Amino acid sequence: PTESSLKTLIIGAEPHTDEQRRKIERMLGVKAYNCFGMTEMNGPGVAFECLEQNGMHIWEDCYLVEIIDPETLQPLPDGEIGELVLTTLDRNMMPLIRYRTRDLTRIIPGECPCGRTHRRIDRIKGRSDDMFIIKGVNIFPMQIEKILVQFPELGSNYLITLETLHNQDEMIVEVELNELSTDNYIELENTRKEIVRRLKDEILVTPKVKLVKKGSLPQSEGKAVRVKDLRDNK
């Protein structure tokens, strides 16, 4: 791949971690830039990263951007994560006013070193309707993915299952191994325990982790389904 003439990637659609972006850059020998757009907002043109790769500049000539608390609907100050709300400024037909995207991000405070004055939004952290609560903690699938991508022996396919066991909510994280994984049970068990430890540090909840063979988990043709909630009280 590094011998390809491809030099630049523009990536969007699915939320991803910075670790995933850097992995793509290393594998393909390219620079990868984030963008944000929506079909309702004329496609991929709401915000783009500059060469600094530190947030996406909003096209403020065309869009008014707000960040709100998804529960109270109150506006949040710059720097706080909330739901992205957009208003179109250049549509004479079918304008959208305070359109709730369900995407979670924040406005990055301060000016960008590139010199552009348009404000920046951070990478999309997830969706407000993807969040789940377990043992009183709000958790997003992106937090799980942030940890899993740190292990080179793991594939990209994973599934979070929420169950009620003995009147207690439990979270099971199943993740596929890849071709770099070992068959050594002790090494696999050490990897599993380390995943549990890092996940607990990240989400403050101790999950059960299962390492499964590649191809064991269902593949989604469209948007990946990451959470299966089987709890009695959901």
| Residue 175: CATH number of its domain | 3.30.300.30
Determine, yes or no, domain membership for 115: yes
Dihedral sign, CA of 152, 144, 85, 13?
positive
Domain match, 18 and 113 both: yes
Q: Which of 208, 215, 213, 168 is nearest to 192 (CA)?
A: 208
How far apart CA 103 and CA 15 sit, in angstroms, is: 9
Domain match, 17 and 114 both: yes
CATH code of residue 48:
3.40.50.12780
Number of domains in the chain: 2
Domain match, 92 and 73 both: yes
Please give the average per-residue pLDDT across 80-90, as a whole number. Answer: 94
Last residue of a domain, one of 89, 111, 127: 127
Please give the average per-residue pLDDT across 108-129, as a whole number. Answer: 92
Domain match, 23 and 116 both: yes
**pTM: predicted TM-score of the whole model, two decimal places:** 0.69
Q: Between 20 and 205, where is the model more confident?
A: 205
pLDDT at 20: 80
The yes-or-no verdict on residue 223 having pLDDT over 70 is no
Beta carbons within 10 angstroms of residue 216's beta carbon: 15
Question: What is the b/e burial string over 166-176, where b = at least 16 CB atoms within 10 angstroms of the residue's CB?
Answer: eeebbbbbbbb
Reduce the DSSP state of residue 124 to 3 states and report it. coil
Domain match, 108 and 204 both: no
pLDDT at 2: 56
Domain match, 110 and 144 both: no
Domain match, 196 and 216 both: yes
Domain coverage including residue 154? 132-229
Domain match, 21 and 117 both: yes
pLDDT at 189: 96
Domain match, 100 and 139 both: no
CB 124 within 8 Å of CB 15: yes
Residues β-bridged to residue 66: 85
How far apart CA 65 and CA 72 sit, in angstroms, is: 18
pLDDT at 232: 78
Residue whose token pair is 């659609």: 13
The yes-or-no verdict on residue 142 having pLDDT over 90 is no
Q: What is the DSSP string of 110-179?
A: S--TT---S-EEPPP-EETTT-EEETTEEE-HHHHHHHHTT-TTEEEEEEEEEEEETTEEEEEEEEEE-T
Reduce the DSSP state of residue 77 to 3 states and report it. coil
How far apart CA 6 and CA 90 sit, in angstroms, is: 34
Please name the helix (run of DSSP H) or strand (run of DSSP E) that holds residue 25, with its range, or none: helix 18-28
Domain match, 16 and 122 both: yes
Domain match, 163 and 66 both: no
Determine, yes or no, domain membership for 2: no
Please give the average per-residue pLDDT across 174-190, as a whole number. Answer: 93
Q: How confident is the model at residue 222 (pLDDT cuts 50, 70, 90)?
A: low
Q: Which of 47, 123, 52 is nearest to 81 (CA)?
A: 123
pLDDT at 221: 65
The yes-or-no verdict on residue 28 having pLDDT over 90 is no
Determine, yes or no, domain membership for 207: yes
pLDDT at 207: 96
Domain match, 49 and 30 both: yes
Report helix angle 185-203 to 141-148, nearest 10. 140
Q: Between 131 and 83, where is the model more confident?
A: 83
Question: Percent of the chain beyond pLDDT 90?
Answer: 61
